[in-house]
Amino acid sequence: MKSIGRLTLVRQTFPMPQNTSQRCVKHNHRINNSLCDPKNPRSQQLEITNRYIYDSVLLLANTFHRKLEDRKWHSMASLSCIRKNTKPWQGGKSMLDTVKKV
C-alpha cells in the first residue's frame, strides 16, 4: 500500500436506529445503515477511507513517539477534551512541526 502524502481524518456519526434490535454490522463494527447496501457507491468508498484512517493514526503515533524520545514534550496534564474548559495548547506548533517532518 502506498501513501499519497495526505493526512485525512474521517468521522462518521452513528444515529440511533428506530428499531434498536436492527443493526447494520460490517467487519464487527456497527455502521450507518445507508452504508450496508453493497449497491450503494458510498459503501465501496468506506473501504478506501479505512486506509487513510490507518495512515493518519500511524502518522500521529510516530509523531507522539518522536516527541517523547526528544524529551522536549510539553506537559499534557492540563489538556482536556471538554469544550468549555479548553485553552490553546502551547505544544501544538511543535507537534505540527514534528508531524510535517514525519
| pTM as predicted | 0.38
SS3 29: strand
Cα distance between residue 70 and residue 56, in whole Å: 21
**Whole-number pLDDT of residue 14:** 47
Terminal CA-CA length for the chain: 18
Give the residue-averaged pLDDT of 67-96: 66
For the cut 80, the answer to whether the pLDDT of residue 54 exceeds it is no
- DSSP assigned state of 30: E
For the cut 80, the answer to whether the pLDDT of residue 25 exceeds it is no
Give the residue-averaged pLDDT of 41-46: 59
Most confidently modeled range among 28-32, 47-51, 61-65, 85-89: 61-65
Which own/partner contact pairs does 24-29 have at CB distance under 8 Å and 24+ positions apart? none
Q: For residue 100, what is its C-alpha cell?
A: 510535517
Cα distance between residue 89 and residue 3, in whole Å: 29
CB 10 within 8 A of CB 51: no
